Amino acid sequence: MGTAEYYRAVAPHYHLFYEDWWETVDRERQRLDALLAPRGVHTVLDASCGTGTQTIGLAQQGYLVTACDVSSEMVAEAEQRAAAAGVGGRIRFAVHDMAALDEILTGPYDAAITVGNSFPHLEPGRREQALRTLRSLLSPAGVLVIGMRNWDKILNERPQFVQRRVSKVNGHRLVMFDVWDYPNDDEITFTTFFLWHDTQTWRVETHTLTYYPLRAVDFMRLAQANGFRVVEQVDHPFERWWVLEVERDA
């Protein structure tokens, strides 16, 4: 199952991965604003917007946001949620591949973001293309924020079972968890289980996704080789954010 197929399947229930999705939106708004506001950012490209977890908060904060994702289903969810939050007019949505956004956008943007562990969806080769594309869409003083899981910790510990949540959907209990497999040193397979309980019976859905993890030292080398300098690392409970600035001499 490819990335687009995985998110097509999970899009209607993606918000249930969070204990409180709207609370997460507000928390992400504060975190991003703390990085972007001091740099005088006004326009932001969210290159992997998903259901709008970062996009909506940025729009609420007053930024003008262009929000893109490879999954049309995730973008549709984001559009609905942005409208519900009253900020749909501050966001331009599009469905497109992160690594080829220069096919539909011209920029320049003050900042670009791809957080929520989207960047490791890209295979080696496409990661370089994505960085070059995002750099081309940024202003000369532009900043790029990339958020990923702490892959160093994961690759060292190699967890196999990761609990997500237990929720209620239309009166039915939904149990969600992941099983992680490590077929080689360069790939991790996430299989997300949806266990639906309806009175006496259980129904099981599985959706599988491949990640291409990057250790910190490899990511920094990759960024520097493709026109950025690493200026800050911010560790959050479930993710590590890298703040990159355009290398003007690149």
State the 10-residue block means of pLDDT for the chain, 250 residues long: 84 88 95 97 98 98 97 96 96 97 96 96 95 97 96 94 90 93 94 91 94 96 96 88 85
Task: Give the number of other Cβ atoms within 10 Å of residue 37's Cβ.
Answer: 13
Parse the chain into domains and list their residue ranges. Answer: 3-149+214-246, 152-211
Which pLDDT does position 176 carry in this prediction?
Answer: 94
Helices marked H in 190-238 — which ranges? 216-225
Angle at 237 between CA 235 and CA 243, to 5 degrees: 25
Is residue 115 within 8 A of residue 146, CB to CB? The reply is yes
pLDDT value of residue 1: 62
Q: Which of 100, 107, 46, 101 is nearest to 74 (CA)?
A: 46
* 152-211 topology per CATH: Nuclear Transport Factor 2; Chain: A, (3.10.450)
Two structure tokens written together for 73: 């289903």
SS3 220: helix
Structure confidence at residue 200 (pLDDT):
84
Report how far apart, in Å, the C-alpha atoms of 14 and of each of 8, 150, 151, 223 are: 10, 21, 22, 29
Residue 111: which of 208, 38, 178 has the closest Cα?
38
CATH topology of domain 3-149+214-246: Rossmann fold (3.40.50)
The pLDDT of residue 185: 83
Q: Helix (H, G, I), strand (E, B), or coil: what is residue 219?
A: helix
Q: What per-residue confidence (pLDDT) applies to 250?
A: 54
